[in-house]
Amino acid sequence: MIGTLPRDPFRFEPLPTRVLFGHGTRTHLAKEVRAAGITRVLVLTTPFQKDLGDAVARDLGDVVAGVFNGAAMHTPTDVTAQALDALTTAGADGVVAVGGGSTIGLGKALAARTDVVQVVLPTTYAGSEMTPILGETENGLKTTRSGPEIRPEVVIYDVALTHTLPAAMSVTSGINAIAHAVEALYAVNGNPLMDALALEGIRALTGALPLIVADPHRGAGREAALYGAWLCGTCLGSVGMALHHKLCHTLGGSFGLPHAETHTVVLPHALAYNAPAVPKVIDALRPILGDDPALGLHHLARDLGAPTSLSGLGLDAASLDRATELALQARYPNPRPLEAGALRATLGRAWAGTAPISEISSEGSSA
């Protein structure tokens, strides 16, 4: 056995993304934009982060062709159409996305249509910057696609940009990142390097989040949290995800639940569902999350004041049967076979906010 977990023969392809990490790395932005071959740049951000977008535009100087500050959650295609107009009118050959997954998603949507060069300054822990995946919403339907042109070319992690992320959002965004690493540990196409990154990412984030909640503004924990987010995002961009991500995609796309909060509520329950099929993964997580890692994640969220129930996020109990059906419909690899009754019970616990319970599979794959 190589590494922590047993693995079948594996393939490893390093991500081509250029990464800068540290405090104050934003000062390298103009140089990185030029080095990426960009001659005219459109800066992207959300309405909430408009001032930051303007400040970044000032940092960039003459190369800036405009600022588009309309990015929105779940990448609505009508917003992308407006941004595409702005990109074309400006004659830009590059974008600088400064923000969380929503802003980064808009940059990816533009790249999917024009192959424009992307430089990203992430300000949350969601991890989208490291992936070739784009989720888009049209007429209330969320679809995903993937391709090499979608992955950002340059990512500048500047710890200073995360200091403003409110404590509550830091926790849910951090647990969103942990979810990528947990599912990487049992990915069918995983490898020992991703396992090591996943465990290190989870360790960094679980240590950092309590420090951030204790004092969000002083910066303790911010560096470790962003480092963990980079590692977990690398896992998301490198190997396939399973039940947890499918459930969250369904709950976000079909029932309009908020992204990071939904990940936070569902993760302990999805891990509990899969636990009987992945005893070695559970062993590997124990030193970080305690004897019952699913319960450890539930307690982490609860103790840091994060949401722990889908009912609290506004999901109607009547939607649980439909959510189960949708999760069963799609075919995707998962370590434990999907069983309607057990899955419905798992979602029921996530809805009520009760502690996760590891299910024993009727297929007999128990720990």
Residues that bind ligand NAD (CB under 6 A): 46, 48-49, 73-74, 99-103, 105, 123-124, 126-128, 131, 133-135, 161-162, 164-165, 173, 236, 259-260
Comparison of 17 and 123: residue with beta carbon closer to ligand NAD:
123
Comparison of 254 and 366: residue with beta carbon closer to ligand NAD:
254
Minimum CB–partner distance for residue 97 and ligand NAD (Å): 10
Comparison of 162 and 361: residue with beta carbon closer to ligand NAD:
162
Minimum CB–partner distance for residue 219 and ligand NAD (Å): 13
Minimum CB–partner distance for residue 330 and ligand NAD (Å): 16
The two structure tokens encoding residue 261: 């909060």
Minimum CB–partner distance for residue 234 and ligand NAD (Å): 11
Minimum CB–partner distance for residue 4 and ligand NAD (Å): 25
Comparison of 135 and 335: residue with beta carbon closer to ligand NAD:
135
Instruction: Give the whole-angstrom CA distance, residue 302 versus residue 225.
Output: 18
Instruction: Give the whole-angstrom CA distance, residue 96 versus residue 120.
Output: 6
Minimum CB–partner distance for residue 21 and ligand NAD (Å): 16
Beta bridge partners of 95: 42, 118
Asked whether 252 and 235 are in contact (CB, 8 A), the reply is no
Q: State the helix-helix crossing angle for 293-303 and 279-289, rounded to 10 degrees.
A: 40
Vertex 288, ends 287 and 293: CA angle to 5°? 90
Minimum CB–partner distance for residue 166 and ligand NAD (Å): 7
Residues 6+ apart with CB under 8 A from 116: 87, 92, 93, 94, 95, 110
Comparison of 115 and 321: residue with beta carbon closer to ligand NAD:
115
Q: DSSP E strands: which ranges in 88-198?
A: 94-99, 117-122, 133-138, 141-146, 154-158
Instruction: Give the whole-angstrom CA distance, residue 130 versus residue 225.
Output: 16
Comparison of 12 and 48: residue with beta carbon closer to ligand NAD:
48
Q: State the helix-helix crossing angle for 320-329 and 340-352, rounded to 10 degrees.
A: 130
Minimum CB–partner distance for residue 41 and ligand NAD (Å): 19
Name the strand (E) or helix (H) holding 183.
helix 167-185
Residues 6+ apart with CB under 8 A from 46: 69, 70, 71, 72, 99, 100, 102, 103
Torsions phi, psi for 351 (to 5 deg): -65, -45
Comparison of 123 and 361: residue with beta carbon closer to ligand NAD:
123
Comparison of 230 and 292: residue with beta carbon closer to ligand NAD:
230
